[in-house]
Amino acid sequence: MVMPILDFDATAIATIAFKFKDDEESIKANCNGSISAETETTTKSKTCGGQTVKEITKPTKIILTVEAHLPVEILRRVMGLKQMKN
């Protein structure tokens, strides 16, 4: 029986690039960060005579966590922020 991987180890991010709509080139950033994923599952079991005959585990949700340092230009475009003018 194959055992599914339910928890993933964090992986380091060396380089990340963002390409926005209508842009020709992507914005590349050398960032120091990590990415990790965790899966939430539900288990259904089939019983016969009070004994478990078969169990099925299905993923219900994947939680992806990204921790990274990004240039301000990228954050402004992703979040829709604008610089205040005096």
Spatial neighbors of 34 by CB under 8 A, at least 6 apart, are: 10, 11, 12, 13, 66, 67, 68
Q: Tell which residue, 21, 27, 36, 24, has the closest CA to residue 68.
A: 36
Question: What is the residue-level pLDDT of the chain in tens, covering all 86 positions?
Answer: 556 665 556 677 778 888 888 888 888 888 778 888 888 888 888 888 888 888 898 888 888 888 888 888 888 888 887 777 76
What is this structure's pTM?
Answer: 0.48
Which pLDDT value is given to residue 72? 82
Dihedral angle computed from the Cα positions of residues 77, 64, 34 and 14, in that order, rounded to the nearest 10 degrees: -60
Question: Which pLDDT score, from 0 to 100, does residue 86 have?
Answer: 66
Q: Which amino acid is at 53?
A: V
Q: What is the pLDDT of residue 15?
A: 81
How much is the pLDDT for 17? 84
Q: What is the pLDDT of residue 8?
A: 58
Predicted pLDDT of residue 6:
59
